[in-house]
Structure 1
Amino acid sequence: MEINDQAREELLTEISGISDENLNKKPSSEEWSIKEIVEHLYLLESNVAMMIKQNAEKGENATVSHKPIEATVNRDVKVNAPATALPSDKFASINELEEKLSTSHQQLEEVEKGVDVQLLKQKAFPHPAFGLMSLDQWIPFVGYHEKRHILQIQEVKQKLGL
């Protein structure tokens, strides 16, 4: 969870001090607001925690190769978010977002601490870009994914003049 904790600290620093109005402002109709990016992050983290827990208990054993999850940070490669991690267009405050980020992070930590490491290495779940990926790689993937979106938040802040 080291990369995840580091990314979360960076994320909270990046969004700190932004007004609720600016958090919810889109740079254009085709782009996500900072709020939507953050919502996507906590939805994905919660979904991954739930998926790992379910597959660690009931998933079949699978032998998969190590995936280059560090490449997730590369924003030149576009990957569409799964429907379960798409943000809503509802207004949200910084306090709401921080609370949901804390909850989702806690969920992933609990799964990581509560499931045997060997079990995580023996089970797998498909990723849209990397294919079948071991459950133990899904945990740090969340951190790299968050770092990717921190870069997106920086781009949105620049476009909004923040």
Structure 2
Amino acid sequence: MAQLPQQTPQLDAPGAGIPMHHRMLMRWYVRPRIAATSDWLHNEKLFYKIHGTILNEVSSVPYNKWSAKILIPPQRGLEDSSRFWNLKETLEHIVIVGSGIQSLVVTLSNGEVPASEVDTAKVKPAGQMTPEETLIYFEEYVTSCIGKINAAKGEKLRQLKWPHPWFGPMNAHEWFWLLPIHAGLHLQQIREIKKKLG
């Protein structure tokens, strides 16, 4: 039997981060060994594959269930405060973060310094949109993000760096790698939410 949406649990505050050993793995192995050596075209294809899968996953859920907050188990790469979201909030968050990465890639690759630091506490969803509005918001992002990056990016993809709270200093190429990877983390979350929605 599917579990009903739970009452608000006690979780860490937004921006509290992830366990130290996860941050160390990301900073000293994942970023230099995986992100830095990734292929741009492969990352583009992965972006469309993961976001397309997300759309397929949420399309099977009726809109009247999109606002039900569900507590999922702890997940690597996911802050504690992000474990109690609904489908609307999860999709909104993917777009907020993805749009921020889009801006960072363009800015850094053109040799410019971003205007502000990256703060995980400031990319949490507001959750005020309707399911229909959320879906349109997500679809518009998916169809435009890569094109906007490729049209505006400069040639300095591996020069200037800007710090990620967990991965450490990342150049434009590494930030671009993070676009599909971040969405993939939340694809796992969406599947966990669906399990409990029934």
Larger CA deviation: 47-56 vs 6-15: 47-56
Partner of 1:38: 91
Query: What is the CA–CA distance in structure 2 between the aligned matches of 1:147 and 1:125, rounded to whole Å?
Result: 22
1:8 aligns to 2:44 (yes or no): no
5+ residue gaps in structure 1? Answer: 61-80
State the Cα distance separating 1:25 from its structure 2 match: 0.7
Q: Which has the higher helix share?
A: 1
1:88 aligns to 2:88 (yes or no): no
Aligned residues: 139
- Show CA shifts across 1:43-102 (max 9, x none): 111111122223333436xxxxxxxxxxxxxxxxxxxx7233211132421x32232123
Equivalent residue runs for 1:88-127 within 5 Å: 88-93=126-131, 95-105=132-142, 106-116=144-154, 118-127=155-164
- Show CA shifts across 1:99-133 (max 9, x none): 212332313431134313x4112222211211011
TM-score (norm 1): 0.75
Say if 1:83 and 1:33 are closer, same or farther in 2 by CA, change over 3 A. Answer: same
Partner of 1:18: 61
Query: What is the CA–CA distance in structure 2 between the aligned matches of 1:100 and 1:17, rounded to whole Å?
Result: 18
Higher RCO structure (Cα 8 Å, ≥6 apart) = 1
Partner of 2:190: 153
2:130 aligned counterpart, secondary structure:
coil
Query: What is the CA–CA distance in structure 1 between the aligned matches of 2:124 and 2:108, rounded to whole Å?
Result: 22
| Residue identity opposite 2:52 in structure 1 | E
5+ residue gaps in structure 2? Answer: 1-43, 72-80, 114-118
Query: What is the CA–CA distance in structure 2 between the aligned matches of 1:108 and 1:83, rounded to whole Å?
Result: 25
State the Cα distance separating 1:14 from its structure 2 match: 0.8
TM-score (norm 2): 0.63
Once the two structures are aligned, what percentage of the paired residues are identical? 23
Pair member with larger Rg: 2
